[in-house]
Structure 1
Amino acid sequence: MVIVDSTSAGLEADRGLIGRTSTAHRVADVLRTRIAEGYFLPGVRLSEHDIVNALGVSRNTLREAFRLLTHERLLSHELNRGVFVRVLSLEDVVDIYRVRKVVECAAVRPITSRPPGIGRVARAVADGDQAAQRERWQDLGTANIHFHQAIAALGGSERMNELMQGIFAELRLVFHVMADPRRFHERYLVRNHEILELLEAGDGAAAERSLADYLDYAEKQLVDAYSERKASIAVE
C-alpha cells in the first residue's frame, strides 16, 4: 500500500513559481512604497523597460508585480496601451476614509497608558517637523502617511498593517489632487502633535475623538477638491 502525502502531491509543478513570486512581491513592495512616497503620479504610464533595467529583474517578474498592484487598485492595465498609475475617483476617496476611520480609531480607542509603539509615532511627527522646516512639502506628506501607518500599527495586527499599506499608497494618489500641498499638509502637522501628546498620556478616548474629527475634516477637503476638479473638467 502506497501512502500519498496529500500536502505535497502536485506541488512539483509549482516549484518554479516560488522564487519568481517572492521576487515579484518584493518588486511590488518597492513600487508600492514609491507610490506612497509620491514618486509616481496618477495617470503616469509605467515603462517596463525602465523599471526592469533599474531593478535588475525579468519582465515576467515585473508583470507579476504589476498584477499584484493592479489587484490592490494602485495600477490599471489598458489594452494595447500599457500599465498606468491609477487615477482615483471620488468614490475611492470616500471608501478609503471609511476604512481609515474604522481601523485608525479602533487602534487608539483601547489605549489607557503610554503604548509600546509610541516611538514610531513620535518619529513620524519629528520627520514632519523637519520636512516643514525645510519646506519640503512632498516629504511632509510622506511623514504624515508614516504617522498614520504608525497609528494603525498600534492596533497590533499584522493583517491590518498589510491592509493599510495598500490604503495609504492609494491615499498618496488622492493627495495629488490638492493644488497647494503646503496648505493641505502643514495644518495636519499641528493635529499630529496633539494626537501624539494624547497617546503619550494614555488617553486613547480623547485621541480617538481628535482623530475622528481630523479624518472627517481631511475627507471633506479632498472630496471638495475632487468635486471642483470634476466641475472644472466639465466646463472645459
Structure 2
Amino acid sequence: MPEAAGCPQASGLAAGLEADRALLGRTSTAERVADILRDRIAEGFFPPGTRLSEDSVGGALGVSRNTLREAFRLLTHERLLVHELNRGVFVRVVTVDDLNDIYRVRRLVECATVRGLGEPPYAVQAVEAAVLAGERAARDRAWQDLSTANIRFHQAIVSLAGSPRADELMRGVLAELRLVFHVMADPRRFHAPYLVRNRQILEVLQSGDAVEAERLLASYLDDSQGQLADAYGRKMSRR
C-alpha cells in the first residue's frame, strides 16, 4: 500500500506520544498501548498511510518491541492498521466499501441508543461538553479539533446507553471513521454545518424528545455518508 501523499512518518510524530507514557502506568500492557494509539488515530494524529516505526513509537512510549507488536496486532484486527511484508505497519487507507459499512454500524448503534433511552430527563452532560468543544474549536478555526469534537459527540451519544460493550465498539468504529474524514479536501466546509446539527440534537434531547432526536440523527447520518461517498467518487475518478 503506498503511503498517502504528504503524510508524515511516525518518527516525526513520536514526540507527541511521549506525554502519553503516564497513561501506561506501571504495567505497559499491549492493550493500554493499543488504547493510546487508537485514540491518537481517532484524533487525526496519525493520518492514513502513515508508517508506524517500531523504534520511534516504541521509544516514545517507552515500551518493549514485543508489547508494541502485540498492540499493532490488536489494531490490525480492528482494521485501523495494516501490516505489509518487508515494509512495516501502516495506518490503514479505507475504501468506499469500508465507509458504507461504518455507517451501517453507526445506524445500528447510534439510532438504537437514542430509540432506547426511556423516560427523560437524559444525562447528556458529555454530549453537551462535546458540542461546546466543537463550537470553541470553530471559533478558534481549529478544524482538526472540530473534527475530534464531532467524533466525541457521537461517542457521547452512544454512552447514553450505559453499555461498556457499545462504548468499546464505537471507539473502534469512530477511530476508523476519522480515517474516512481525510478524504475531505476542506474540513471546515464539511464539519461546520454538522456542528449546528449537533447542537440541535442536544437541545432536543434536553427537551426529552427522543423520537425527534432519533429522526434528526438518522437524517444527519444519511447526509454525512452521502457527502463522504461523493468525495470518494471524485477521488477515484481522478485516478
How high is the TM-score relative to the length of structure 1? 0.88
Partners of 1:50 and 1:114 lie apart in 2 by: 48
Aligned equivalent of 1:203: 209
1:115 equivalenced with 2:107 (yes/no): no
> Contact 1:110–1:205 at 8 Å: present in 2 too?
no
Aligned counterparts of 2:89 and 2:97: Cα–Cα separation in 1: 22
Using the TM superposition, give the Cα deviation of residue 110 of structure 1 relative to its aligned residue in structure 2, in angstroms.
3.0
Report whether the alignment pairs 1:139 with 2:145: yes
Structure-2 separation of matches of 1:30 and 1:45: 16
For 2:113 and 2:131, how far apart are their aligned partners in 1? Answer: 18
Whole-Å Cα distance in 2 between the matches of residues 166 and 80 of structure 1? Answer: 27
1:60-87 CA-partner distances (Å, limit 9, x unpaired): 0000000000000000000000000000
TM-score (norm 2): 0.87
**Poorly superposed stretches of 4+, deviation over 3 Å:** none
Whole-angstrom distance in 1 between the partners of 2:184 and 2:120 = 36
1:40–1:85 Cα contact (<8 Å) kept: yes
1:142-157 to structure 2, matched below 5 A, reads 142-157=148-163
SS in structure 1 of the partner of residue 238 of structure 2 = helix
1:40 to 37, 42, 46: 46
Counterpart check, 1:74 vs 2:41 = no
Tell me, which stretches of 5 or more residues in structure 1 are unaligned?
A: 1-20
Larger radius of gyration: 1
Q: Which amino acid aligns with 1:47?
A: S
Cα deviations by residue, 1:31-80 (Å, 9 ceiling, x for unpaired): 00000000101011111110111000000000000000000000000000
State which of 55, 59, 62 in structure 1 corresponds to 2:65: 59
Letter matched to residue 237 of structure 2: A
Q: How much is the aligned-residue C-alpha RMSD, in angstroms?
A: 1.4
Tell whether the 8 Å contact from 2:28 to 2:67 is kept in structure 1 after alignment.
Answer: no
- Looking at both structures, which has the greater relative contact order when contacts are Cα pairs under 8 Å and sequence separation is at least 6? 1
Q: What residue number does 1:25 align with? A: 31
Partner of 2:184: 178
Distance 1:171 1:96 in 2: 7
**Contact 2:46-2:91 at 8 Å conserved across structures:** yes
| Other-structure match for 1:12 | none
1:231 maps to which residue? 237
Aligned to 2:174: 168
AA of the residue aligned to 1:168: L
Please give the alpha-carbon distance, in whole angstroms, between the structure 2 residues aligned to 1:45 and 1:98: 29
In structure 1, the partner of 2:24 is none
2:135 counterpart (129, 132, 142) = 129
> 94, 97, 113: which one pairs with 1:91?
97
Question: Which segment is superposed worse, 105-114 or 209-218?
Answer: 105-114
